[in-house]
Structure formats: structure tokens, C-alpha cells
Amino acid sequence: MSAAGPDDRRPWPDALKWDENGLIPVITQDAASGRVLTLAWMNRESLRETVSRGRAVYWSRSRQRLWEKGEESGHFQKIRAIRADCDGDALLLSVEQVGGIACHTGRESCFFRELRNERWIPVDPVLKSPREIYGSS
């Protein structure tokens, strides 16, 4: 028995499994190093914009709007590849991370905390202070 998935004959957005809010989780990975940079969400419009622009556009759940990564910081994510998992319910973006910073904290990756002795410890350096990136706010 063959499961329907992202390789079926439906239009490509319809071949994905969107959640009850019309969203799909997206893991973003640096194309050169393989490091996981972020976990974000997309809706159909943000996925279409990502494909059209060649840069990552996400759906911001907190702002309730489209959000192009780098629109404020200048740290854009240039798309190298977009993959869907076997079930079609998650995406993987392979990107060139402009400026080497993906996290709003000024770090390379949003996954900078490591569990050590039952505590979350920041283990990656701040490459550029958020104040320098976004200004004083």
C-alpha cells in the first residue's frame, strides 16, 4: 500500500499536510555546515513567497503575519533546497544564512542552549549584540 505524500500528483502545496491552523513546521538548516538554525512555521502563502523570492518567508504566529527572515536584521536566508518529509507534514529548508546569524539573540543558531545537569546553559557565543542588529528598543 502506497501512502500519499509530497510526491503525489496533486498541486505541490496540496500534497502537504497542513495543521488545523493551516501551518506546517519548518526546520531550517545551513546548507554548508548542516547545522540546524531554526524551527519556524509556514502557511501556504509564506511557502509560495519563499519559492517565489528564493528567500525564507515564514508565518509569524506571534505577529500573525508573513515574516521574511532578515527583514529587520539583514540576516536573510537564501534558499538552496526545500524538502518535505515522508509524511508531508514537515519541511526542511537548506539555506545560505546571510551574515552567519539566524537567531534574534545574535547567535548562529536558535538552538544555542544545551541541557547540562538539569539546567539549560547557553553554549554558543553571541556573534553580534541584538542592540547592534536591531537598535535600542
Tell me the pLDDT tens digit for each residue of 49-74: 999 999 999 999 999 999 999 999 99
- In contact, 110 and 124? CB cutoff 8 Å: no
Tell me the pLDDT tens digit for each residue of 8-24: 678 899 999 999 999 99
Asked if residue 101 has pLDDT above 90, the reply is: yes
Listed in order, strand segments (DSSP E) in 43-84 are: 57-60, 65-68, 77-84
pTM (2 d.p.): 0.88
Tell me the pLDDT tens digit for each residue of 72-99: 999 999 999 999 999 999 999 999 999 9
How crowded is residue 30: how many other Cβ atoms within 10 Å of its Cβ?
Answer: 19
Q: Write out the CATH class of domain 12-134.
A: alpha beta
- In contact, 57 and 50? CB cutoff 8 Å: yes
